[in-house]
Amino acid sequence: MQIKYPTCNLALTLVIICASWIWPIIGNARVSLNAASNAQITSAVMNKEILIMPQLNKLNFGFGRHKGIEFFYEKTISRLFFQDKQLNARIINVSFESSEIALELSHPILGTGTIRFEFSPKLLKQTTAQGIQTILLETLGDENHLYVVLDPSSKLYHLWSCNHFSDPALMARMKREDADQQGYRPSGFCFKKAVYLPDLAVEKAIEAEWSMRLRNYEPIEKESAKQSHLSAIGETVLNNWPVKLLGYHYGFYLAASDEINAFAIPTGKIIVTTALFDSLDNDDELEALVAYAVAHIEQRHSLKRYYECVEDEEYTDAMQKLATLAGALAGPMSGGLSGAIKMALPGESCSPQSLIGYHYDYVNQADSMVALYFDIHKNDRLGVASLIKKLHFSQLAVNLHPGMRFNAQATPDDSRLRRVKETKFILFGADSYFVLNRNKKPPVQFNLEYYQILDHENYVHIYLDDQTILELEQVKDGKSELWLSITDKTGVQRLKHQKDLFTVDMWGAHLTFSVEGDKKEKLLQDTEKIVLTVGSTKGPTDRLNNQPARNYTFVPGKVDW
């Protein structure tokens, strides 16, 4: 039976490109190891520990050479291969499929991952079983992975595991930071960053559709002073973001237009028109504008809005079948399927939104995040309030949305200004880490991120680094709910999950819980333990509930290795 491994769009594309160096050698011939060699290799590598060097660009494939002959390897999307330290992993399983050998690796903290080696007939014919063992045990631990390969003619540096050179061993090499200091630049081919997020293919389809609809917003020259200034402000916002970014490729584009507008396109493209840019009085207002765009993208509001739209569209069933058959909602997928989803995007009901065109709850969420950002980075929120006034209380709002007319006493506008001015925050520090230890399974990290209070709103924001215990699909479908019980010196507080506000990333999820009752600002004083409960929507104590709730107890601590 053919073994299948997770891939990403970028990896698939690059493997196809790079296969031109390999498949001509293979042709139609298939050379396999014999049963005796398989048994010898398995015996030699099983339960051995191998060294894994941190991969500079976190891609899930690479090239190697053995006695001058190339092979390539592909790694699953696993924590083992997305880390910044050297580590040792144990081989717990070996499998063979024709000219492929797959190793399943295990680490007590980072869990498991698989690496698949693909060998050419030439290598298999000219290499002994002992040579194959050496490749399996030493490839990922090769110290050359600590360096980059220099190309003095182009002033670019490349990964050691690339195949751009006939023999990288003959090229100069050095640490990446040293190459940067000497004026070398990273190769775009080697160091093209890969983003791994659930539902990313859908976001890319939305991005393509939005880009088509916004094709009249042509960026001005990159070298212009205004464009450079916008990009600099954008980098400032990213570098000072209050929580960990999801990893999108952000780009900030100034478009020549007399229409006062701005758009936050899924996956990281932010467009600001010159008319809006010129209407801002200072950098604080521009920074607030960019922060709003980043907040909407990071909280994946366009993706959430998309799923709201398809619920109202007649092709919902077809979309769900398409997504289910292809695994589209589980992560990255092929460009062909992405194109199919693009063709099924809703019409004008899901047209691109300007920064004041989002659902009220999403606007509130962005308001809070931008206010927190300004608290930390600027020590005041004046720029945020000034921007909101411009967008909502002036002629700018009419220019943004001609069909809208704003009343100066309109409650939503007043509430937005109150939110950014009066929301109180507690940003948790190093003592906000909690750990769930599981028998024979990697521990789970739970972090309290920040706490916000405004009148009757009382939210605690957390990050959990393991999606599996959340049963997110059940939560998305409304069949399961999450509750949080926090025990501190004031007693036990029960918090309810706000399912419309959670954001999923590569490993876990950012979750928001609301505090009810009279606890308010007295919450979370010297927290002793936290219990996460996953149960049906009927509630864990409902007598009609046949599904037992699962409780996970987190105690103070941080997962480290």
* Angstrom distance (rounded) from CA 543 to CA 79: 40
d(CA 482, CA 467): 13
Phi, psi of 146, rounded to the nearest 5 degrees: -80, -10
Backbone region of residue 397 per phi and psi (left: phi > 0; alpha: psi in -120 to 50; beta: other values): alpha
How many of the other CB atoms lie within 10 Å of CB of 480? 21
Per-residue confidence of the chain (561 residues) as pLDDT tens digits?
Answer: 333 334 444 443 443 334 433 334 334 445 677 888 899 999 999 999 999 998 776 778 888 888 888 899 999 988 888 888 899 999 999 999 988 999 999 999 999 999 999 999 899 888 899 999 999 999 999 988 889 999 998 999 998 888 777 778 788 989 999 999 999 999 888 887 778 888 888 888 888 877 777 778 777 777 789 999 999 999 999 999 998 899 999 999 999 888 778 888 888 989 888 988 998 999 999 999 999 999 999 999 888 877 776 665 544 444 444 344 333 333 333 333 333 333 333 344 355 554 445 667 788 888 999 999 999 998 889 999 888 888 765 445 444 443 333 333 344 467 788 888 999 998 887 778 999 998 888 999 999 999 899 887 889 999 999 988 888 777 777 778 899 999 888 888 889 998 888 898 888 999 999 987 666 666 677 888 999 999 876 655 555 456 678 899 999 999 987
> Which SS3 state, helix, strand or coil, does residue 422 take?
helix
pLDDT at 34: 84
Considering only CA atoms, give the Rg of the chain. 26
Which H helix or E strand runs over 158? Answer: strand 156-159
Distance between CA atoms of 394 and 388, rounded to whole angstroms?
A: 10
In whole angstroms, what is the distance from residue 479 CA to residue 239 CA? 38
Q: Which two tokens stand for residue 224?
A: 């212009």
Which two structure tokens, joined as six digits, stand for 387?
């921007």
The amino acid sitting at 265 is I
Tell me how far apart the alpha carbons of residues 148 and 175 are, in angstroms, rounded to a whole number: 6
The predicted structure's pLDDT at residue 357: 55
Reported as half-sphere exposure (CB side, CA atoms, 13 A), residue 423 has a value of 29
Axis-axis angle for helices 301-310, 200-213 (nearest 10): 90
Q: Rounded CA gap, 42 and 96, in Å? A: 10
Identify residue 186 by its one-letter amino acid code. Answer: P
Q: Kindly list the distances between the CA atom of residue 183 and the CA atoms of 8, 164, 231, 412, in Å, as whole numbers in the listed order.
A: 31, 20, 21, 52
pLDDT for the residue numbered 21? 38
Determine the pLDDT at residue 407: 38
Question: What CA–CA distances, in Å, run from 71 to 7, 11, 19, 38, 162?
Answer: 18, 16, 10, 18, 11
What is the pLDDT at residue 480? Answer: 82
**Is 132 exposed, middle or buried, given 0-12, 13-18 or 19+ CB atoms closer than 10 A?**
buried
Spatial CA neighbour of 65 closest among 22, 102, 99: 22
Q: What pLDDT does 325 receive?
A: 36
291: exposed, middle or buried (Cβ count in 10 Å: 0-12, 13-18, 19+): buried
Q: How far apart, in Å, are the Cα atoms of 305 and each of 262, 273, 323, 357? A: 18, 23, 17, 11
Q: Using an 8 Å Cβ cutoff, are 73 and 61 in contact?
A: yes
pLDDT given for residue 246 in this prediction: 92
Residue among 112, 66, 70, 56 nearest 89 (CA): 112
Residue 18, H or E segment: helix 9-18
Domains of the chain are 9-143 (no CATH), 147-194 (no CATH), 200-419 (no CATH), 427-556 (2.60.40)
pLDDT at 381: 92
CA atoms within 13 A on the CB side of 393: 16
Tokens coding 160: 């050691």
Give the ranges where 161-315 is alpha helix by DSSP (H).
Answer: 176-181, 200-213, 225-239, 274-279, 283-298, 301-310
